Structure 1
Amino acid sequence: MAASPEASVLARMADLVRAMPADQGGALWRLPVQERQLDANVVRLAPGAEVAVHVEPDLDVLVFVVSGQGRLERGGGEEPEVLEAGCVVWLPRGARRGLAAGPHGLDYLTVHRRRPGMTIGRAGGAERERGGEPACLLDRVCPECGRLAPEGAEVRYCARCGTALPER
């Protein structure tokens, strides 16, 4: 029987936010623990960048805004909700959601249940091994400009700025 993991401090938010240039977006931190039930990420959306409105069919996601300002977009003509440091947002599975950074960017922590180890692949329904997935399509977010890559084909580079996307 494996030993139980120890409780520990994994990151210091102020250090993570300070270490990333303000005009650059992407993942600042990912939960590094292998044997876990949760996935967590700290993400920076560069000023003016956005994660397009989409639907996550499988997972509820909790978002904590660390710094900056932005908007929670729901699509369908609804007014966006203002986000600022300290906001806690629940994104229920099946709900339309998108995030847009303000003029100074948006840093946020996402937490959700870890996905199972095997998922259906994109092309031809082939399966692929996964050790959990980034929160809410994070592997499709350009680390440079924050644009969400389209679902479907195996896209490797951002259509807006040409930056390589995170490995899937």
Structure 2
Amino acid sequence: MSRVLAVIGECVAAAHEGQSGALWRLAERDRQLDANLVRLPGGGSVAAHVEPALDVLLIVVEGAGRLGDGVTHRALEPGSVVWLPRSARRELSAGPDGLTYLTVHRRRPGLSIGRRSAGAAPASAARDCPSCGRPSREAEARFCCWCGAELPAATGT
């Protein structure tokens, strides 16, 4: 049965001053989509990365920023709708007042148990996102590439 799950303006208004990361996420059981309302703080960023499996639709709700692909940068403003094709490099940076955006993509399949490839390092719980629980992709990342939340400081090895 269809129903209204959230009102984006209300989610943004309900967030406390300075709150960043996921402000809302689609959490319905048996869904085929994932969606996240994410706020990056002023000057915050999502490190350059490549999403190998999923196309992502990004809609800017509030604030401003820039989207980069490693070669060019494009300005983002409220109302910008961006298609991020799978396998394309992308990075986001927020302007001085922050950037709030909605992402929508096909739901990822559940994690499967399997063998690690030779030489692969085990996942570090210290680098799991405190907001969405997903592991960071880059050792030096400051913000989660999945939901935009600030990651805990990397521990030296």
Structure 2's unaligned 5+ residue stretches are 118-128, 146-150
Q: Do the aligned residues in 2 keep the contact of 1:44 with 1:105 (CA within 8 Å)?
A: yes
Match of 2:98 among 101, 105, 113: 105
TM-score by length of 1: 0.70
Q: Do the aligned residues in 1 keep the contact of 2:46 with 2:144 (CA within 8 Å)?
A: no
CA separation in 2, counterparts of 1:37 and 1:82?
30
Q: Do the aligned residues in 2 keep the contact of 1:149 with 1:158 (CA within 8 Å)?
A: no
Match of 2:78 among 80, 85, 98: 85
**Large movers: runs of 4+ above 6 Å:** none
CA separation in 2, counterparts of 1:61 and 1:31?
15
CA separation in 2, counterparts of 1:23 and 1:158?
17
Please give the root-mean-square deviation of Cα atoms over the aligned residues, in Å.
2.8
After superposition, give the CA deviation of every residue in 1:116-160 in whole Å (9 maximum; x if it has no partner): 123467x936xxxxxxxx9xx98357xxxx92369xxxxxx5227
Q: Do the aligned residues in 1 keep the contact of 2:58 with 2:102 (CA within 8 Å)?
A: yes
1:11/1:149 CA distance change after superposition, 3 Å? closer
TM-score by length of 2: 0.74
Match of 1:17 among 5, 12, 15: 12
Secondary structure at the counterpart of residue 76 of structure 2: strand
Q: How many pairs were matched up? A: 133
1:110, distance to aligned residue in structure 2 (A):
0.4
